[in-house]
Structure 1
């Protein structure tokens, strides 16, 4: 019977079993991530370790201590940069900030923060607008390795020219170099910028709400999720947003197909910012 399976069907069975093994061993659930994205990362790991089949990966997950950590790092999406998509931060500065000024405390959740660049960017923006002292930024990711890096505020010096350009296009008010020190290899975000950022592990696929927020930002993360998982995450965000709170999505993401769309008003379509009714 096995020999009668099409190659694609056999591959899907192997992926199902691998992701089930990863979940049982680690507690991290990738079963509702887009298969095309997961498959690319599986093939990458197979090429590195010269493993012939996906079932061979599953065997290593089940029988080799700490091997699952390699796959968790492979599966985690860690693409980010300072002031990524500057038009989002420009819109946030001009349109959202005025609604936050009268709050006694500002709670912002950066979900899927990776190595922290967007959280650092928000901290700088709030500092320039005179609001950072009363703000708390909760930056979460499922990957502990990238969180430990984010806590240190270390950025590659080679990226700072690109980051400076993004900062200026986002409406930055100072010289970007005022927010970091540097050596021959790295830039280091100043302690005053890191001070009100709380980094913590949180898995959007399985974990629930942990606070009420005035702003939730989750940009270019849900494009890797199935529609079912996207809807689950939108439920989480809706439950976590205060009345009148703001939701920021990525340039390729939308609320239009979500069952929660009617509970938001489009605040800025270009910046992909929505406001909870």
Structure 2
């Protein structure tokens, strides 16, 4: 396998521009250091020694680009990740959402679906799933294909069960899926109100009005300008008094829209849009 030593800033710009022109994906406002690491990791894995070779491969080999896209859009996710967040949702947010006749929730950057299925379980336990529409979006079509299937490696369910219990779950977690061979298949009734859509936070616009938007551990990969644009998108997409959920390392503090929100869950990064 060829060794990849480095990629210069100009070379990285060349690669980003080539992808934008050819495929329409714009990585120019992603965190520079993080995106460069992901590109170098892909080059090393693929045995591609130079940026010129990488650009040529990306533009001429669509399956390779699909693999690249899946690799550079970080897909770290799990069911009931950060149990305290789900406990806060269960106790303080879902009872408020129950006052709406139809509840609309957006999971932006849903990856392979584990977090949206966690939300579906909370809503099912609160008796609200039947009148909720869950919109789960991601930039990566491969992620959405996996998420739609609702198939999760069975070995992960032990950890997910522990997360669920720490989040205040009282049912048998195994009641929400069927074990088959080495996989767990999320039950159909949890999947039926989830709408999976491709949506690019960099370029796409408002497509509905939501009572809750969850975008957790996505914005840390964007630079400050792109974070501000996405936060404005979320503010415009929320109903008055709607909620915004961020990852534990993310914050509205230094953003343009901070005055439009009040914090309601300091430890769990839950915000509410002001009227």
Scaled to the shorter chain, the TM-score interval is over 0.9
Identify which range, 254-263 or 62-71, moves more after superposition. Answer: 62-71
Displacement of 1:49: 2.0
What SS does the corresponding residue of 2:197 show, helix, strand or coil? strand
CA distance in 2, matches of 1:177, 1:60: 44
CA distance, structure 2, for counterparts of residue 28 and residue 63 of structure 1: 16
**Number of aligned pairs?**
270
How do 1:114-125 and structure 2 match up within 5 A? 114-125=111-122
Matched, 1:19 2:16: yes
CA distance in 1, matches of 2:217, 2:62: 32
Question: C-alpha deviations, 1:59-116, integer Å up to 9, x for none?
Answer: 2223445432232122111110000101000001101112111100000000000000
Distance 1:22 1:88 in 2: 36
Secondary structure in structure 2 of the residue aligned to 1:108: strand
Q: For residues 48 and 83 of structure 1, what CA distance do their matches in structure 2 show?
A: 31
Distance 1:179 1:63 in 2: 43
Identify the residue that residue 155 of structure 1 maps to in structure 2.
152
Among 29, 32, 47, the alignment partner of 1:32 is 29
Q: For 1:20 and 1:209, how far apart are their aligned partners in 2?
A: 25
SS state of the match for residue 100, structure 2? coil
Measure the CA separation in 1 of the matches of 2:67 and 2:181.
Answer: 30
Partner of 2:269: 272
Q: Distance in 2 between matches of 1:196 and 1:210?
A: 17
Alignment of structure 1 residues 159-238 onto 2, 5 Å: 159-238=156-235
State the superposition RMSD in angstroms: 1.3
Using the TM superposition, give the Cα deviation of residue 58 of structure 1 relative to its aligned residue in structure 2, in angstroms. Answer: 1.1
**Partners of 1:197 and 1:225 in 2: CA distance:** 26
Given candidates 67, 80, 85, the residue that maps to 2:82 is 85
CA–CA separation in structure 2 for the residues paired with 1:196 and 1:126? 11
> What residue in structure 2 maps to residue 4 of structure 1?
none
| Unpaired runs of at least 5, structure 2 | none
Alignment partners' CA distance in 2, 1:30 and 1:75: 10
In structure 2, C-alpha distance between the alignment counterparts of 1:77 and 1:215, rounded to whole Å: 23
Query: Matches of 1:63 and 1:174 in 2, distance apart?
Result: 51
Q: Is the 8 A contact 1:111 1:139 kept in 2?
A: yes
Structure 1 residue runs without a partner (length 5+): 1-6
User: What TM-score do the two structures reach when normalised by structure 2?
Assistant: 0.95
Q: TM-score if structure 1 supplies the norm length?
A: 0.95
Q: Which residue of 2 aligns with 1:257?
A: 254
1:143 matched to 2:165:
no
CA contact (8 A) 1:26 1:68 kept: no
